[in-house]
Amino acid sequence: MTVILDETEIKQVQRDTNLPMQKAVLRADRNRWFVVALGLIVALMMMTGFMWYAFDKANNNKELVYIKLYPDGTSDVSEFRPEDEQLYFRSTIDAGLERFIKARFGQQAETIKRDYAEAAVFMSGPLYNDFIGAHEGGYNAPQKAIDIIASAKNADRIEVTWGFSDHYDKIPAVFNNQSGEMIRSNLYFTQTPKTATGLVKPDGVKRLIMRAQWRLLPKRTLAEKTRAWLRINPVGLEIVDYEVIEDPSSYQLTEDEASK
């Protein structure tokens, strides 16, 4: 039997027939947008993670631009090393060396204990042991400080005046089975002995040179230091060895002064 449908019924049948297909298309479209949105969220999270990592690395940068220092006071950047090494500037190093020299070779009864303690912060292990040791050849700093304080009223005072530095060489070295570098420097300074009353002692002024070998401690070692230690020596300057000699030019200077 043939059934004749009017136009309204035909449209209703078509809608009922196309409805599952429309739902399928809509579902596929929604799924596609869900995947796109999920991908964007993942990408945003990854970008945020990379940005945070880059920010953290920037705040904890351990890359070194090595600065060569020449006797005439000039310098240049020579090599790039992404290692656990220190970046330093000449003025910073000189400030630390000056602090060491004044603390180690000066003598003020009222500050001698603190001065010796500060000087020890800049010393390597062997130097420190010789500095405080009472053995033969040791300086026995604790006892010397006690003696100076005990005779404070009559003890001589020694004032130290910083001159200048000459960082003239860089040599390879090994520290704790790890390769490193050590700097050789000549440090010029003057000792002026005074009586307890503040008068300069006759023929007592000495122009001296400290011939030093030093290095900068790696950052991982600095991280283990106390805040009090870092306040004195924030860059980790370590004096490995030194000797003090009279400045040869002081003899000529003395002759010139005498001729005047």
CA atoms of 187 and 242, how far apart (whole Å): 10
| Digit-coded pLDDT (tens) for 233-260 | 988 999 999 999 999 886 554 444 444 4
242 and 213 in contact (C-beta within 8 Å)?
yes
Residues in the chain: 260
pLDDT of residue 22: 65
- State how far the Cα of 161 lies from the Cα of 73, in Å rounded to an integer: 20
Pick the residue with more confidence: 212 or 47?
Answer: 212
So what's the pLDDT on residue 259? 45
Lowest mean pLDDT among 12-16, 31-35, 243-247: 12-16
- Give the least confident one: 31-40, 84-93, 159-168, 182-191: 84-93
| Higher pLDDT, residue 15 or 51 | 51
Give the closest residue to 86 by CA, choosing from 233, 219, 198: 219
d(CA 100, CA 122) in angstroms, rounded, equals: 7
CATH code given to domain 64-259: 3.10.450.230
CA separation for the pair 106, 195 (Å, rounded) = 13
More confident residue, 11 or 90: 90
- pLDDT value for 2: 53
**14 falls in which pLDDT band (50, 70, 90)?**
low
pLDDT value for 241: 96
Three-class SS state of 10: helix
Give 52-65 pLDDT, tens digit per residue: 776 666 565 544 45
Strand partners, 65: 80
Q: How confident is the model at residue 15 (pLDDT cuts 50, 70, 90)?
A: low
Check: CB of residue 189 under 8 Å from CB of residue 160: yes
Say what the pLDDT of residue 110 is: 93
| Residue 200: partners with Cβ closer than 8 Å, 6 or more residues away | 192, 193, 194
Please tell me the least confidently modeled range out of 19-33, 107-121, 226-240: 19-33
Instruction: Give the per-residue pLDDT at 64.
Output: 46
Residue pair 80/64 in contact (Cβ under 8 Å)? The answer is yes
Q: What is the pLDDT of residues 163-212, one digit of tens each?
A: 999 999 999 988 888 888 899 999 999 999 999 888 999 888 999 999 99
What is the mean predicted confidence (pLDDT) over 8-17?
A: 60
End-to-end CA distance of the chain: 143
- Going through 176-253 in order, the beta strands assigned E by DSSP cover 178-194, 206-216, 237-246
Ranges 85-89, 102-106, 119-123: which has the least confidence: 85-89
* Percent over 90 (pLDDT), the chain: 46
112, amino acid identity: I
As a whole number, mean pLDDT of residues 83-89 equals 58
pLDDT given for residue 145 in this prediction: 95
Mean pLDDT of the chain: 82
- Model confidence at 5: pLDDT above 70: no
